[in-house]
Amino acid sequence: MRKVFALLATLLVLVLAVQFFLAASGAFDTAPNDESFQQHRGLGYGIVLFAILLTIFAALARMPGRLIGMTGLVAGLGVGQSLIRGIAAAFNDTGDTSTTAGTLVFGLHGVNGLIMLAVAAAVARRARALSRSAVADRPAGVAQPAS
């Protein structure tokens, strides 16, 4: 179970990197945001769901509480991405024109994305170390328990 968790945690980091890729390509796209950020928005919600399921899996795999908490934090920060967008949009002027306040608030969306990436990377690193030590700690000749 620990090895599977380590693999999934590493996958989460890769998916977050793709999210940045989609953000950059969306920013370059001249189509309206609704269109140009569609994939980014879709993957953004997918990341939240993935992080929630991974948190449940971490608990089932009896990972250390700190690691379960950090995985849950990635999910919470992901929900925060929508909240930040909602708050930024609330500052929009009539005709949905962005304001300085809204754009400043939305800047936090990028920063929060970096924090999500850093936390997910720490989870993956720790999980890999734990799954390696689980292998190393097993006395020679003792079969690997069903993982």
Kindly list the residues in this chain that would bind ligand HEM in the complex (CB under 6 A).
16, 19-20, 23, 27, 33, 37, 40-41, 44-45, 47, 78, 81-82, 85, 109-110, 113, 116-117
What is the per-residue burial (b if ≥16 Cβ within 10 Å, else e) of 5-43? Answer: bbebbbebbeebeebeebbeebeeeeeeeeebbebbbeb
Nearer to ligand HEM by C-beta: 3 or 41? Answer: 41
CB neighbours of residue 70 within 10 Å? 20
Rounded to the nearest whole angstrom, what is the least distance from the CB of residue 123 to ligand HEM in the complex?
A: 14
Q: How far is the CB of 104 from ligand HEM (least distance, A)?
A: 14
Give the amino acid at 98.
Answer: S
For ligand HEM, give the closer residue by CB, 112 or 126: 112
Rounded to the nearest whole angstrom, what is the least distance from the CB of residue 135 to ligand HEM in the complex?
A: 31
- Residue 49 token pair: 């769901």
131 alpha carbon, distance to own chain's centre: 21
Q: Which is nearer to ligand HEM, 2 or 80 (CB)?
A: 80
What minimum distance in Å lies between the beta carbon of 66 and ligand HEM?
21
- Report the residue number, 102 or 113, with the smaller CB distance to ligand HEM: 113
Q: Amino acid identity of 116?
A: M
Position 15: which residue type? V
